[in-house]
Structures are given as C-alpha cells and as structure tokens.
C-alpha cells in the first residue's frame, strides 16, 4: 500500500485502456452494460477535475459481432474490414453514453508512423492537450482499418503506454479479464499468487508474464509488462486490473489494493530520450570501438567520428540509429547529425578533419549526448 499512497495519491491525468475481453460478450457482440459502467466511472472522474484519456480496443470484435462471424478473422483484409465496420459502431456507442453524462467525446486514431515521426508526434501531443483544455475526453484506438503492422503485431497495451508517456500522465490503468500479474499462469496453476506491487521490472517479473489472452483480443500479460516498461520509464505509474470488477477504476484511484501496481521509475527518461528509445525504429547501425564505448557508456560523452568503426544501413541526417559495441551488443540509440554516406567518409577521423573530407562541417559530433540514450 505504501507505493500506492506514494504514486497514486492526487493523480491528475489518467489514461485508461480497456481490452476487447472487457468490452464484449463471448459471442463477440458489445457488452453494453459493461461499457456503460466504464463510461460512468470515467465521467465521474472527469467531474472531479481529472483529465481522462480512454484507449479502447473492441473495433475488430464489434465488427465480428455485426457481421455475425463465429471466430476472429485470420487474414489481414478480413481484420481490416471488421475494424472498419466495428470502429463506427464502437465510437457511436461511446458518444451516446458519454453524452448522457454531459461529456464530449473526441475520436483519435493513431498509427505507429504518427508516433515515430517527430513532428507528427509533437502535433498529436498538442492535440491531446488542446482537447483537455476544451474539457473533451479523447477516445483513442489504432487505425486498424488501414495499418497492417498494427493489426499483425500491435496491441492497445503498447498504444496506451505510448499515449500515457507523451501526454505525461500520472497513471495508466490497463483493464483486462485478469486481476493482475501473477507469479505463474493462474489459468493453469490454481496456486498462482497475485503480485500486488512491482517497484522495479526485473527479469524475474518478466518471466511471470504469460501468452495471449482471450480469442477476441491480441494482448497477453507479456504485452502488459512490456507496456509497463514504456510507461514507468516515462515517469508514469501503471495498474493492471480486471475490467469486470465493480467500480474498478474508482477503487484504483481511491488507493484500494486492486490489481498490480507498477511504480514509476525513480530515474525516468526525458520526453525526448523516451521517444528515441521506444517510439522509433533504428534506421541503421554504428559500430564503435572500445574507447568510444567507454566514453559513451561510463562518461556520458557524445559520439565523435574517431570512435566509429563501421556504418550499416542507409539513413539520413536526423534519423535514429543504433549504437553497438565491438562485441555486437546494442548499447544505445541516438539522433544522427550526419547521413550514413557522410559518416562512412569521416569514420575514424578527428573532428578537425571533417571539413577537409566533406568540404563542410555542420557538427563535431556524430551523435550529441543530449540526443542519445545509453542502455
């Protein structure tokens, strides 16, 4: 309870993710009673003056129910079609119920590409803040109707953690069909114990995560622990709880021992460094020598041309690249000041030799320490 009092007391901005298993019956049709209960709790929190963002699953499941399908579609086009049909159904239901409580709902569809592109990332962040000032409640989902990667690999656990990180939320709540993180799979082990609080995500904690959950959703405990990493390193505490439990959101905010709390990191990353670490894919790779590795890893120095051994991949200035040591281990990531072609020309050179080699010198550093995250 001490961690809950420390991190959940007086939270102001809350992101709540609701999974497909919570929003639908086993038939695949929407559970209207359950949706109404969740909306009522969110509206009540909003009445208290808290900012609430809802990240919702259920578009594909709603489409499955509308189409009368007996199981979840297997192919990408079928999933996209179900999502296109279900998204409108889902949003209409949220708008109808929120309006009954005097609330304005705003739909936001986000793709992975929106987050990895720095300008669009900042624009999305500004949109959320503008909606909060207007008193609206954002309802967020992946754009499953068109984005192949998000349907094939994505999940709303990761999306909600990403949203919570870039809006600088105080709390992320993941509602699913399980009470929280157990020390073993409770569906196969009746002696499994619920872990109430996690102060640090260790290898042991990660091993407790199991596989995928219900047939209607894509998320399992492994994705939730992964989401916890994203959220907590951004300074956001996270709770996993059973969405079917009565007044579960209210109980969490009131510091009751519900679900599993993942405490925010004691040393959270800055917003910029968090974006570099979690929200972008590395476009290339720089292998550095031992001297550069020691300077970067131990002394938090910038990466200079003299420390670069090899360049892999094709990338432009301003893109994210991976940094590897001589043993082939990724030790960090950063925003490069030069393209792959330019670095290939100036690698192993001193900074005063850059201009002679390229005919110009915009920066001394390949990657400045302020634009670098060391793992």
221 annotated ligand binder: yes
- How many angstroms from the chain centroid is the CA of residue 82? 24
Rounded CA-CA distance 332/334 in Å is 7
362 annotated ligand binder: no
| CB-CB contact of 117 with 166 (8 Å) | no
- HEC-encoded secondary structure of the chain: CHHHHHHCCCCCEEEEEECHHHHECCCCCECHHHHHHHHHHHHHHHHCCCEEEEEECCHHHHHHHHHCCCCCCCCHHHHHHHHHHHHHHHHHHHHHHHHHCCCCEEEEEECHHHHHCHHHHHHHHHHHHHHHHHCCEEEEEECCCCCHHHHHCCCHHHHHHHHHHHCCCCEEEEEECCCCCECCCCCCCCCCCECCEECCCCHHHHHCCCCECCCCCCCEHHHHHHHHHHHHCCCCEEEEEECCCCCHHHHHHCCCCCCEEECCCCCCCCHHHHHHHHCCCCCEEEEECHHHHHHHHCCCCCECHHHEEEEECCCCCCCEEEEECCCCCEEEEEECCCCHHHHHHHCCCCHHHHHHHHCCCCCCCCECHHHEEEC
177 annotated ligand binder: yes
243 annotated ligand binder: no
251 annotated ligand binder: no
| CB-CB contact of 62 with 89 (8 Å) | yes
17 annotated ligand binder: yes
222 annotated ligand binder: yes
CA atoms in the 13 A half-sphere facing the CB of 145:
13
Going by C-beta distance under 8 Å and a sequence separation of 6 or more, which residues neighbour residue 204? none
12 annotated ligand binder: no
Annotated binding site for ATP: 17, 176-177, 218-224
Annotated binding site for substrate: 57, 144, 156
Annotated binding site: 17, 57, 144, 156, 176-177, 218-224
């Amino acid at each position: 309870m001490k961690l809950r009092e420390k991190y959940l007391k007086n939270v102001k901005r809350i992101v709540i993710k609701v999974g497909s298993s919570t929003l639908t019956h086993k038939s695949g049709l929407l559970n209207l009673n359950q949706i109404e209960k969740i909306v009522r709790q969110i509206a009540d929190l909003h009445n208290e003056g808290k900012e609430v963002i809802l990240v919702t699953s259920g578009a594909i499941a709603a489409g499955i129910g509308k189409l009368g399908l007996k199981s979840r579609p297997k192919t990408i086009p079928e999933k996209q079609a179900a999502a296109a049909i279900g998204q409108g159904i889902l949003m209409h239901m949220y708008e109808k119920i929120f309006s009954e409580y005097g609330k304005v709902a705003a739909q936001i569809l986000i793709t992975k590409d929106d987050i990895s592109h720095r300008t669009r990332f900042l624009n999305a962040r500004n949109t959320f803040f503008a909606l909060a000032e207007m008193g609206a409640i954002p309802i967020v989902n992946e754009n499953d109707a068109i984005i192949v990667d998000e349907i094939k690999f994505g999940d709303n656990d990761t999306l909600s953690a990403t949203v919570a990180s870039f809006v600088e939320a105080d709390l992320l709540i993941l509602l699913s069909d399980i009470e929280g993180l157990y020390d073993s799979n409770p569906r196969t082990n009746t002696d499994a114990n619920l872990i109430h609080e996690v102060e640090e995500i260790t290898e042991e904690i990660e091993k407790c995560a199991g596989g995928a959950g219900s047939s209607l959703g894509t998320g399992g405990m492994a994705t939730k622990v992964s989401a916890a990493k994203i959220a907590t390193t951004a300074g956001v505490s996270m709770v996993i709880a059973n969405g079917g439990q009565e007044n579960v959101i209210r109980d969490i905010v009131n510091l009751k021992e519900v679900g599993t709390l993942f405490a925010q990191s004691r040393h959270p990353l800055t917003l910029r460094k968090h974006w570099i670490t979690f929200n972008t894919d590395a476009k290339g790779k720089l292998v550095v020598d031992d001297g550069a590795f020691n300077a970067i890893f131990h002394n938090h120095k910038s990466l200079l041309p003299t420390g670069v051994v090899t360049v892999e991949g094709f990338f432009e200035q301003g893109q994210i690249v991976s940094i590897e040591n001589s043993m082939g281990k990724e030790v960090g990531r950063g925003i490069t000041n030069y393209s792959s072609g330019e670095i290939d020309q100036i690698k192993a050179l001193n900074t005063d030799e850059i201009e002679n080699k390229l005919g110009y010198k915009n920066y001394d550093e390949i990657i400045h320490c302020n634009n670098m995250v060391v793992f």
